[in-house]
Structure 1
Amino acid sequence: MADILALVLKCNCAQLRDNNDRKLTSISGQNALPCMIVGESCNIKTSLLFLTAVTAASELGVRVLFFTPTPFQSLPGLLQDSLACLNPDSLKKITFMYSRSQEELLQDVACLHESVRQAAVPPALLIVDRLDLYLGLQREEQAAAAVHLSALLIDTASFLTRNSEEPCRVIVSFDMERQGQMPWELVAPDPVLSILDRYFSVHCTLDQDRHSGAPSPPGEPGDAWQIYFSGAGNTVANSGSNQGDQILGCLWKLTIRPNGTMEFSPTSMESCVN
């Protein structure tokens, strides 16, 4: 699934979109490993997930299921400019599931095993926004919930893959701030994160850039973030090429422009784009 996130970043990077349109329309599925987006700002993670859903539906034509505890009242403000160049009909390929509790999410995901038999085209991307909200408040309960939810998501994706020619990917976001720890503060393994790491072997980490001057409030104009990939796997192969994109270890920059929209740029064109 790092392959889909890489596609999202490329599609919304002007310097790549203008010169590499052909490379943005297909992916190989060789890095369809489950992914977890972690970082400080839940709003930016949600916007990135929303952009991922729309890009996957628009560029790849796949069905997307987007699970979220809070209904969207409107399109995320940070995406107004980014979504303008995408096909609005792609939203029809996205189904938003407003699972308000852990029990509802378990039931909604479990029901996919039955509903896929009735669907003409099964979903090829499962997105869970703010997985942390579904784990409960009690620390002792969170570990068990993490195992149950993660295992069900991965098993369901495997089931959907077996019933389709398209591999089904899973992407979730996890709010480190709500857990009271940031990635750079984890001096000892967090038990819940250790469990999630076993299921979501690729991390996409969003760190606020604290070297670009006085930090802005998250999501405000002038705010800058670093996006980098880590975890299992090595490459995402280009369609029709034996040479893969080096996704893991790649570093991108996300900047909130003066008009409030998101701008992506690779810090190393050669290592992250070729």
Structure 2
Amino acid sequence: MADVLTFLFRSLVSQTGATNDYKVIPPSPAARSTLVVGDGSMSRSLLLLSAVSAASDMDMKVFFFTQTQIQKLPAPLHNCENRSPEGLKKIKFCYPRTVHELLQQVSSLQEPANMSPTAPSLIIVDGLEGYLRGAGDSSHTRSQSGELSCAAHVSSLLWDTAAFFTQVLEQRAPSLAPCRVIASFQPEVDTGQTSGEPSSPDPILDVLDRYFQVCCTLERDRSYGAVAAGLQEEVWHINLSAIREDSGPEAAVDTQSAGAQEWELLIFPDGLMEFKVV
């Protein structure tokens, strides 16, 4: 959800003394889902930071789905002296290996036996591309129709699950509603285009855009200016913009409903991060 990401960015900006504004932008009643698009390792760090920030600073229960075990936390989390251990316990890590296991585990969240007194306010799925590539074909050959069908199925299930928990939260803890969804996706690089021709968009991304309402794009700055400056830190550009505002997968795209937010992310050699508003 965009309010979780915005809270995270502003909290890391504040550490540099650039601003003391801790205000969280109130979420739109419709905008409950965000798709983080870009480099897989960078998006995973961003999702982990979002999970910890939501749990420890925003008092949210979080479900974090990923294919691979978390080996280490991003550098900004290494010093967690100011974070409550009880807050970090609100994150539940789940490791489905295939898209079928992901579908099963997400759908099981709504089963009465798995319902806890505290409903989740945030569901995170790390690396959708790992679940969707080659989905629907047991022979391990690429089936685009199977991938697109699975992308729609997963997105729809996440949408329905978030809507279910939003109703639960509105009854039990209105201040923590709605239930948000943040997922990451690394588009496949198009290598079939001849030099000078524009690359074609990833067809899976076209499907995901129909279900997610906000897009957070990550792009590393590899421009001549960045190289010429001789900076030791990595520079990334982050754009947070609305894809749609209406409350359903078939809603019309509305790119003007919410103004885009642009950020610059600096990653220093020691792994620490600093966000700047552009």
Q: Secondary structure at 1:164's aligned position in 2?
A: helix
Q: Secondary structure at 1:163's aligned position in 2?
A: helix
Give the letter for the 2:84 counterpart: N
CA RMSD, aligned part only? 2.7
The share of aligned pairs that are identical, in percent, is: 39
Compute the displacement of 1:36 (Å): 0.4
In structure 2, what is the Cα distance between the partners aligned to 1:254 and 1:116? 42
- Equivalence for 1:226: 237
- Equivalence for 2:153: 148
- Equivalence for 1:4: 4
Structure 1, residues 87-146: CA drift from partner, whole Å, max 9, x if none? 333210000011111111010001011157731011010000001111132242210110
In structure 2, what is the Cα distance between the partners aligned to 1:16 and 1:29? 29
Based on CA coordinates, which of the two structures has the bigger radius of gyration? 2
- Equivalence for 1:214: 227
- Equivalence for 2:270: 259
Q: Secondary structure at 1:199's aligned position in 2?
A: coil
- Equivalence for 2:162: 157
Give the letter for the 1:107 counterpart: Q
Match of 1:196 among 208, 211, 235: 208
Give the letter for the 2:149 counterpart: A
Does 2:31 correspond to 1:20?
Answer: no
Gap regions ≥5 residues in structure 1: 235-245, 268-274
Match of 1:104 among 93, 101, 105: 101
Gap regions ≥5 residues in structure 2: 135-141, 171-176, 192-196, 246-256
Is the 1:102–1:134 Cα contact (8 Å) retained in structure 2?
Answer: yes
Does 2:177 correspond to 1:180?
Answer: no
- Equivalence for 2:56: 58
Is the 1:10–1:16 Cα contact (8 Å) retained in structure 2?
Answer: no
Does 2:247 correspond to 1:249?
Answer: no
In structure 2, what is the Cα distance between the partners aligned to 1:139 and 1:221? 42
Is the 2:51–2:64 Cα contact (8 Å) retained in structure 1?
Answer: yes
Of 126-135 and 107-116, more deviation after overlay is shown by 107-116
Seen in structure 2, the aligned counterparts of structure 1 residues 253 and 108 have a Cα distance that, compared at 3 Å, is same
